[in-house]
A and B are shown apart, each in its own frame.
Chain A
């Protein structure tokens, strides 16, 4: 899960961030923005909520950089921050019914077609089914399929065993197959 940052090592980048250098923050942000936002969006299914979570995650990341001791990879630490932010947001608020933003976008796009519409609808159904999973199962699914993490990496991020991850993913698959069997 270790990512390399072009032109400057991660160690140097973190040191620059600790010195309060704005450009270093920007570089760090650009390195992890897609991962953080993707996890938040795929977990919540709500772009507005995902923006809130991503913003909170980066603010937390920047403010708690001095606490990062390097015991784990920095990317693992970032993943933990966004996972915790997702779970905290879920506890603090319950969201309204998810908006079919992507479906609306496809309908509005000039290149829309029946095939694209069907694919989009399928994705929406899958996402809607994922959103019905318990938070732990849903997060395991998101880390697996959005970020492509291994069982061991998911276990490290979620602070559980790889066996637990395998169990959650297995149960998630069974639940999703039941929900999508009619498709």
Chain B
């Protein structure tokens, strides 16, 4: 690296003063949006996302509440307690009873006069849907549907076989 080259580069590439017009151009282009202004309300930029998130949560909570109100649910392994609850909430007199190999988990009202009883048999959660027989005197539930292929287990919920 020669001293001559160093000297030539230093002379040729020497710094120069910026033209006065540069500030005029920069100043003119300093529109408010480009300038880093302090945020008077820094939380405002989070307001919209937070409000949207809160609205979503509110809708979910409300939907859940409506769901719970529309479909009252009761969790219990006690057949007697579930029976009483169904009679009170759904108006269905179901004579539930303890049965070997079958464990009741609870019940849910689907709509007036129709409910689902949950139970576990062979380690698998199953349900039966029961309905109050229309016009029956006295009202007696009938089995509408069962998710289990073990019909005997469904029957055992109410009958001794």
Interface residues of A (CB under 8 A from B): 17-20, 22, 25-26, 29-30, 33-38, 41-42, 47, 51, 54-55, 58-59, 62-66, 119, 122-123, 126-127, 130, 141-142, 144-147, 170, 173, 176-177, 180
Contact = CB atoms under 8 A, between A and B. Distances in A.
Contact of A141 (B9, B26, B30, B36): B9
Interface in B19-66: 19, 21-23, 25-27, 29-30, 34-38
A42 B23 CA distance: 19
Contacts of A173: 1-2, 5
Given A47-B19, A173-B1, 20 more contacts: A19-B37, A19-B38, A25-B30, A34-B15, A34-B17, A34-B18, A37-B17, A37-B19, A37-B22, A38-B18, A54-B22, A54-B26, A58-B26, A63-B35, A65-B36, A122-B12, A123-B8, A126-B13, A127-B12, A144-B9
Contact of B36 (A18, A30, A126): A18
Given A29-B26, A55-B26, A141-B9, A177 B2 contact: yes
A121 to B, nearest CB: 11
B26 to A, nearest CB: 5
A64 B36 CA distance: 7
B161 interface: no
A65 B22 CA distance: 20
Contact of A145 (B10, B17, B30): B10
Contacts of B5: 173, 176-177, 180
Contacts of B14: 145-146
B136 interface: no
Contacts of A145: 9-10, 12-14
A18 B22 contact: no
B124 interface: no
Contacts of A26: 23, 27
5 contacts: A33-B18, A37-B22, A51-B25, A65-B36, A130-B12
Nearest to A62: B35
B38 A18 contact: yes
